[in-house]
Amino acid sequence: MNRPIPSADVQDVLASTSDLWEEMRGGRLFFTGGTGFFGAWLLETFVHANKALQLGAKAVVLTRNVAGFHGKLPHLVNEPCLEFVEGDVRGFAFPGGHFSHVIHGAATSAREIDPLEMVETVVDGTRRVLTFAKLRGVRKFLLISSGAVYGTQPEHLPRIPETYDGSPDPTKPSSAYGESKRIAEVLGGIYAVGGGMEVKVARCFSFSGPLLPIDAHFAFGNFLSDVLHGRPITIQGDGTSLRSYLYAGDLTAWLYTLLFKGQNGHAYNVGSEEAVSILDLAKVFCAELSFSPGFVLAKTAIADAPRHRYIPSCAKAQGLGLTQTIPLPAQIQKSFQWLNDGIAS
């Protein structure tokens, strides 16, 4: 939906990061992935912080389709602090001038994308953005990665720390996303030790909030769609898989904090430590939204079968003062309210 993120959420992000923005004064930020879920929140917050704090900062946003961005986020098109350039992250023409910061999030985790194209986009795109950043004198670079770099989380490990050395199975095409993100992190690490540019990595897990796709492979988004359309919530599996959810406002505050305060050459998990099964997630949806159609399970759970889990340890991020401020019930309420208001208007 082409509506702004709730202003209260954007103001909350600024309130929790207000002491970090001074280094952006007069600076110039380069965004990739600015048209996606993460990017929209990051851009809204940047625009708000720039105005509220009178930073005089600018941002250049790389997008594959400027017209498409105009249709998705029309309220940002004419913001004087934003400039949009069209190009593919794998071979874009380098914008001129000096840049102080980069947030590189361009990639796709969509399942329908060809694995070879996914690898090329992540790996070749990251290398090109790092080359650009070095050439333009960037001081701080945030690489948005994924918890997929860890591969399958062992059942005995309730939360994955950044020190866990597991990895995806490299023989499976389904590992293309996680493996390509691992290579992207290696590229970032090479530039981090070269001197002159700090490179930090955000390993992102599962999230909620306005602009989360409701027609993709995200259970939270699909449940929102089911409720919005009045049909029973459909759980594609047996409901035993464990996930955790961080609200997009918290996510945005965490990402900007990592950009400004994260340690050079370090990776940080970004997400919630509060595990919930997909079945229990559906139950919370029904309770919080008074949703009477309920839910249906596509599969029956097998007794004593291993439970798939995707839960981060966020102790390292917590060391920077980062916390989860929006509990799961409020995440559901806020996400659905935004969607429902869009239908009503």
Residues in CB range of 326: below 8 A, 6 or more apart: 247, 249, 250, 334
Question: Quick one: pLDDT at residue 36?
Answer: 86
- Return the closest-CA partner of residue 57 out of 77, 34, 30, 28: 28
Alpha carbon 143 to chain centroid, angstroms: 11
Please check the confidence at residue 334 and state whether its pLDDT lies above 70. Answer: yes
Q: In which region does residue 97 sit, left (phi positive, over 0), alpha (psi from -120 to 50) or beta (all else)?
A: left
pLDDT, tens digit, 9 for 90 and up, residues 314-328: 999 999 999 999 999
Please check the confidence at residue 192 and state whether its pLDDT lies above 60. Answer: yes
What percentage of the chain reaches a pLDDT higher than 70? 98
Scanning the structure block, which residue is given the tokens 């997400």? Answer: 271
Give me the chain's average pLDDT, please.
Answer: 93
Question: Quick one: pLDDT at residue 121?
Answer: 92
pLDDT, tens digit, 9 for 90 and up, residues 48-67: 999 999 999 999 999 988 88
pLDDT, tens digit, 9 for 90 and up, residues 159-185: 999 999 999 999 999 999 999 999 999
Please check the confidence at residue 286 and state whether its pLDDT lies above 80. Answer: yes
Please check the confidence at residue 344 and state whether its pLDDT lies above 80. Answer: no
What is each CA distance from 286 to 57, 291, 295, 296, 326, in whole angstroms?
44, 5, 8, 12, 19
Confidence of residue 219 (pLDDT cuts 50, 70, 90): very high
Q: Residue 309 forms beta bridges with which residues?
A: 242
Please check the confidence at residue 110 and state whether its pLDDT lies above 80. Answer: no
Q: Where do the domains of the chain lie?
A: 7-210+245-273+310-324
Name the CATH superfamily, with its identifier, for domain 7-210+245-273+310-324: NAD(P)-binding Rossmann-like Domain (3.40.50.720)
Please check the confidence at residue 3 and state whether its pLDDT lies above 90. Answer: no
Stretch 136-159: mean pLDDT: 96
pLDDT, tens digit, 9 for 90 and up, residues 222-241: 999 999 999 999 999 899 99
Question: Quick one: pLDDT at residue 65?
Answer: 84
- Helix or strand or coil: residue 198? strand
Confidence of residue 12 (pLDDT cuts 50, 70, 90): very high
Confidence of residue 112 (pLDDT cuts 50, 70, 90): low
Stretch 19-43: mean pLDDT: 94
Question: Quick one: pLDDT at residue 319?
Answer: 98
In single-letter form, the type of residue at position 275 comes to A
Question: Quick one: pLDDT at residue 254?
Answer: 98
Are 30 and 99 spatial neighbours (Cβ–Cβ below 8 Å)? yes
Please check the confidence at residue 217 and state whether its pLDDT lies above 60. Answer: yes
Higher pLDDT pick, 284 / 305: 284
How many distinct helices (H) and strands (E) make up the chain? Answer: 11, 13
Please check the confidence at residue 104 and state whether its pLDDT lies above 70. Answer: yes
Question: Quick one: pLDDT at residue 71?
Answer: 79
Q: Supply the pTM of this predicted model.
A: 0.96
Higher pLDDT pick, 84 / 69: 84
Structure tokens at 207: 């999230």
Question: Quick one: pLDDT at residue 69?
Answer: 78
Please check the confidence at residue 113 and state whether its pLDDT lies above 80. Answer: no
Are 59 and 43 spatial neighbours (Cβ–Cβ below 8 Å)? yes
Higher pLDDT pick, 291 / 345: 291
What percentage of the chain reaches a pLDDT higher than 90? 81
Higher pLDDT pick, 142 / 237: 142
